[in-house]
Amino acid sequence: MALSSISILSLLLVLLSASWATPASIEDNFIQCLDDNSEHVIPISAVCAQTNSSFTSVLNSTAQNLRYLEPSVPKPQFIFTPLNESDVQAAVICAKKLGIHLRFRSGGHDYEGLSYASEIETPFIMLDLARLRSTNVDIDDNTAWVQAGATIGEVYYRISEKSKTLGFPAGLCSSLGIGGHITGGAYGSMMRKYGLGADNVLDARIVDVNGKILDRAAMGEDHFWAIRGGGGASFGIILAWKIKLVPVPETVTVFTVPKTLEQGASKILYRWQQVADKLDEDLFIRVIIQVTKAGQKGERTVTTAYNALFLGDADRLLQVMNQSFPELGLTRKDCIETSWIKSVLYIAGYPSETPPEALLQGKSLFKNYFKAKSDFVQQPIPETALEGLWKRLLQEDSPLMIWNPYGGMMANISESAIAFPHRKGTLFKIQYVTSWYEGSQDATTKHMDWIRGLYDYMAAYVPTSPRAAYVNYRDLDLGINDKTNTSLSQARVWGTKYFKGNFDRLVKVKSKVDPDNFFRHEQSIPPALIEA
Ligand SMILES: Cc1cc2nc3c(=O)[nH]c(=O)nc-3n(C[C@H](O)[C@H](O)[C@H](O)COP(=O)(O)OP(=O)(O)OC[C@H]3O[C@@H](n4cnc5c(N)ncnc54)[C@H](O)[C@@H]3O)c2cc1C
Ligand SMILES: *[C@@H]1O[C@H](CO)[C@@H](O)[C@H](O)[C@H]1NC(C)=O
Ligand SMILES: *[C@@H]1O[C@H](CO)[C@@H](O)[C@H](O)[C@H]1NC(C)=O
Ligand SMILES: *[C@@H]1O[C@H](CO)[C@@H](O)[C@H](O)[C@H]1NC(C)=O
Ligand SMILES: *[C@@H]1O[C@H](CO)[C@@H](O)[C@H](O)[C@H]1NC(C)=O
Ligand SMILES: *[C@@H]1O[C@H](CO)[C@@H](O)[C@H](O)[C@H]1NC(C)=O
Ligand SMILES: *[C@@H]1O[C@H](CO)[C@@H](O)[C@H](O)[C@H]1NC(C)=O
């Protein structure tokens, strides 16, 4: 009798301890840790687990490349959406304590989905900074503090709300997150006059690997140098940037002039290559190259569209064009005089008459499956090579190239001023893109093969040692870190393409501020200490 009651008791104990030993889920442990390390109780709604029916829509919300939402791509264990800065600090402390890999997202435009997908390391969790998105413009000081989750379009809108004659020189696409965007450089239609977004940053607030908040003075000049152009997610989590606003005239002029092959596209583009970087610094003319059905009988042809912003009125623009690029044949009818904020909508591709308030929605205008690559060109590409290029474009369903002029301020800033290095000597940058609309493996392989072939073809016409690339156009074909073996010599291969001579200094900064490589991903800067 006594024996059997003891055995029932011990059985109970065994059962109980078994249930105690059931491992709590990663999110339970994480939430517990957040509560222990935060100034306040983390609201349950800030955490969205895979089992939550909202998970996919939260994950999808700002993910720009559909390739990285496919079922075969590993998803975060859960998504944590901080409501204030101290939550971000707690997230770093807890991810470290629990040994969980951490990814973080501002605007979700990473070309290879690195902010919300991880193919080299699972499980992982994602920090979505979308709700840290205030913009505070200080009009007396011509500066603004902008939180990482704000889109660049919102920033432009908030500036224009306060002043018609101030702007900021960053990206063309309005849904970019300022958090990730500026870490890679951030070019746009005022770069020839004012340089990059990253050239116009005065201060920043970041969460470092110890969960501490540092501003410029606290992090020091080396660390502050690295976060301007050294690429996202290697040196800490940007909470906010302090940006310097730049003067813009009350009236600016925009235009888009298309030229098909039948209209002499090759000759005009050859000419553009010779003048685009030498034009008046108020003038930015990029070339958007696509395959369209604009041939005489509606057959496919290549269209080169000259898409421009001029910081001045149409009269002066026509004079500048007549002097420097008459071959385009720009007429007064092509010119649209407008305000700077409306030029932002025009260049971003909104339908005309869209009110600037649309920028506050922070929504991207399109999403698709895509793969992109980039080159920095130092010598005009001969017309015969252009003919070969057109042949290749005509073989693809939806090819796109954007040729983006350099010169002006870009040539005046030294290669080592910030971590972004592509300056003097660059005539223009090419972005190659192919996009598609269904995620099958066959479709993906076909389009990836096409763009890799195009990239090989272009090797003969661009500098190859190194063959330079823009880190904000992330391209994992250039090489990746292994999970277990982050080799400095391997990383140098792609690191010198993105950062040229600045790569070694980035490694030095990394070794100092994050020697254990907590902030890491497929193409993060490795610390020197990990060299095998
Ligand atoms: C449609 C489209 C148009 C584009 N147009 C331009 C353009 O005009 N000019 C230009 O320069 N670039 C352009 N880009 C590239 C763009 O600048 C980069 O993709 C940039 O990294 C996007 O930042 P994000 O915050 O939106 O992306 P995310 O995907 O959120 O982040 C990108 C990278 O930065 C890291 N990161 C994100 N937030 C932070 C943070 N707070 N602190 C530290 N690291 C962070 C991420 O982990 C990831 O590695 C374009 C991209 C797309 C898809
Ligand atoms: C599910 O996620 C949504 C969005 O993040 C959140 O508001 C909600 O509280 C979550 N539900 C549960 C049960 O965690
Ligand atoms: C999220 O995106 C994937 C890939 O495009 C799609 O299959 C899915 O339906 C989307 N889900 C939601 C809720 O938006
Ligand atoms: C952070 O947000 C929480 C919840 O919204 C709030 O209770 C807390 O006071 C905030 N803390 C700070 C430092 O702003
Ligand atoms: C263009 O410049 C030439 C002289 O270089 C001048 O004769 C002509 O009138 C100008 N045309 C316009 C439209 O300004
Ligand atoms: C770049 O430098 C040249 C030569 O010093 C100067 O004429 C030009 O105005 C500068 N451009 C900008 C945008 O500062
Ligand atoms: C790591 O990778 C490098 C370069 O590929 C290789 O030389 C080295 O042996 C590897 N180290 C380990 C520990 O696998």
Ligand 7 pocket residue status of 492, Cβ below 6 Å: no
Nearest Cα residue to atom 12 of ligand 3: 57
Between CA 226 and CA 532 the distance in angstroms is 24
Output the pTM of the full model: 0.94
Q: Return d(Cα 149, Cα 133) in angstroms, integer.
A: 4
Is ligand 5 within 6 A of the CB of residue 464?
no
**What's the pLDDT at 485?**
66
Contact 219, 208 (CB under 8 A): yes
Separation between Cα atoms, residue 422 and residue 506, nearest integer Å: 15
Ligand 6, closest atom to CA 412?
1
> Helix (H) and strand (E) counts for the chain?
17, 18
| Angle subtended by helix axes 503-513 and 488-499, to nearest 10 | 120
CA of 408 to the centre of ligand 6 (A): 6
Give distance in angstroms: CA of 322 to centre of ligand 5: 6
Delineate the domains of the chain, giving CATH numbers in brackets.
22-128 (3.30.43.10), 135-247 (3.30.465.10), 252-336+368-461 (3.40.462.20)
- Mean pLDDT (the chain) is 94
Question: Separation of 287 CA from ligand 6 center, angstroms?
Answer: 24
First-residue to last-residue Cα distance in the chain: 66
Check if 70 has its Cβ closer than 6 Å to any atom of ligand 6: no
Q: Are 90 and 41 in contact (CB under 8 A)?
A: no
Max Cα-Cα span within the chain: 109
| Nearest ligand, measured from the Cα of 278 | 6
Residue with tokens 């800490």: 236
How far away, in angstroms, is 412 Cα from ligand 1 center?
25
CA of 188 to the centre of ligand 2 (A): 37
Mention every residue, 6+ apart, whose C-beta is less than 8 A from residue 64: 108, 109, 110, 175, 364, 367
Write down how long the chain is: 532
Residues 60 and 69: beta-carbon distance below 8 Å: yes
CB of 413 sitting under 6 A from ligand 6 = no
**Most ligand 4 atoms within 8 A of CB, residue of 84, 87, 131, 205 to mutate:** 84
Nearest to 185 by CA among 448, 426, 530: 426
Report the distance separating Cα 248 and Cα 484, nearest Å.
Answer: 49
Q: How far is the CA of 181 from the centre of ligand 1 (A)?
A: 4
- What pLDDT was estimated at residue 1? 41
Pairing of strands 135-138, 143-147: antiparallel
Out of 54, 56, 73, 363, give the residue to mutate to test ligand 3, the one with the largest number of ligand atoms within 8 Å of its CB.
56
The ligand that comes nearest to the alpha carbon of residue 324 is: 5
Say how many Å lie between the CA of residue 406 and the centre of ligand 3: 38
CA of 27 to the centre of ligand 3 (A): 23
The separation between CA 356 and the C-alpha centre of its own chain, rounded to angstroms, equals 22
Q: Whose CA is closest to atom 5 on ligand 4?
A: 83
275/407 Cα distance (integer angstroms):
10
Amino acid sitting at position 179: G
Q: β-strands 124-128, 101-105: how paired?
A: parallel
- Residue with the nearest Cα to atom 13 of ligand 6? 409
Give one DSSP letter per residue of 461-476, joined into a string: GS--TT----TTS--G
From atom 6 of ligand 5, which residue's Cα is the shortest distance away?
322
Name residues whose C-beta falls within 8 Å of residue 263's C-beta, 6 or more positions apart in sequence: none
Instruction: Give the mutation target among 277, 412, 413, 424 for probing the ligand 6 site: most ligand atoms within 8 A of CB.
Output: 412
Residue 135, beta-bridge partner list: 146
Query: 416: Cβ–Cβ under 8 A, 6 or more apart, which residues?
Result: 501, 502, 505
Which residue's alpha carbon is nearest to atom 5 within ligand 3?
66
Residues 6 or more apart whose CB falls under 8 angstroms from that of 298 comprise none
Query: Which residue's alpha carbon is at the smallest distance from atom 13 of ligand 3?
Result: 57
Catalytic residues: 473
- For helices 441-458 and 383-394, the axis angle rounded to 10 degrees is 180
With H, G, I as helix, E, B as strand and everything else as coil, classify residue 55: helix
Q: Is 83 in the pocket of ligand 4 (CB under 6 A)?
A: yes
Residue ranges of the chain with pLDDT lower than 70? 1-23, 295, 484-485, 529-532
For residue 103, the ligand 1 atom closest to its alpha carbon is 47
Q: Is the peptide bond before 123 cis (omega within 30 degrees of 0)?
A: yes
The atom of ligand 3 lying closest to the CA of 59 is 1
**CA–CA distance from 90 to each of 1, 34, 39, 211 (Å)?**
54, 6, 9, 7
Q: Are 189 and 309 in contact (CB under 8 A)?
A: yes
Ligand 3 atom with the smallest distance to the CA of 56 is 13
